[in-house]
């Protein structure tokens, strides 16, 4: 994958990854994204020992095919509750009306689910 180097972040990340690997022998996964939630998801997808960059305005294309349980801060219970309602992928979750989500999951969970 060709990385687009924004403010030198890509080079810095690659250098850090290589330095950690050469000094310690440990493999690490790195990711670049515009926000923390997408960054965490991208890092999870990059494992093991890979890298992932999610460019601005491509977050939805990246997240849509993911299983809901892979969204950071979505716990096992919430994931199972969502799956029991027939929602498995982030794309489907985004299409559920807000009122229905609020009724089903409560006000606290809706904040987390809306991240999708």
- Would you list the DSSP string of the chain? -PPP-STTHHHHHHHHHHHHHHHH-----EEE-SSHHHHHHHHHHH-SS-EEE--TT-HHHHHTTSBGGGSTT--HHHHHHHHHTT--BHHHHHHS-HHHHHHHHHHHHHHHHHT-
pLDDT for residue 76 is more than 90: no
d(CA 116, CA 11): 29
How far are the Cα atoms of 46, 47, 52, 55 from residue 76, in angstroms, in the given order? Answer: 21, 20, 25, 29
Query: What pTM did the predictor assign?
Result: 0.79
Given this model, what pLDDT does residue 5 score?
A: 65
Is 39 within a domain? yes
Is 73 within a domain? yes
Is 4 within a domain? no
Task: Report which secondary-structure segment, H or E, holds 13.
Answer: helix 9-24
Which residue range is the domain that position 24 belongs to?
9-56
Q: What is the number of domains present in the chain? A: 2
Higher pLDDT, 11 or 2: 11
Q: Do 52 and 69 have their domain in common?
A: no
Q: Do 52 and 70 have their domain in common?
A: no
pLDDT for residue 42 is more than 80: yes
Is 3 within a domain? no
Given this model, what pLDDT does residue 81 score?
A: 84
Residue 2's nearest CA partner among 48, 53, 75 is: 53
């Amino acid at each position: 994958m060709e990385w687009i180097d924004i403010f030198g972040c890509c080079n810095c990340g690659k250098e850090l990854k290589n330095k950690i690997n050469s000094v310690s022998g440990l493999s690490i996964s790195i990711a670049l994204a515009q926000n923390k939630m997408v960054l965490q998801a991208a890092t999870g997808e990059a494992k093991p020992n890979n890298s992932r960059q999610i460019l601005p305005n491509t977050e939805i294309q990246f997240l849509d095919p993911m299983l809901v349980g892979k969204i950071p801060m979505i716990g096992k219970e919430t994931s199972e509750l969502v799956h029991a309602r027939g929602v498995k992928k982030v794309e489907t979750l985004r299409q559920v009306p807000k009122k229905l989500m609020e009724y089903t999951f409560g006000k606290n969970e809706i904040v987390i689910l809306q991240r999708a």
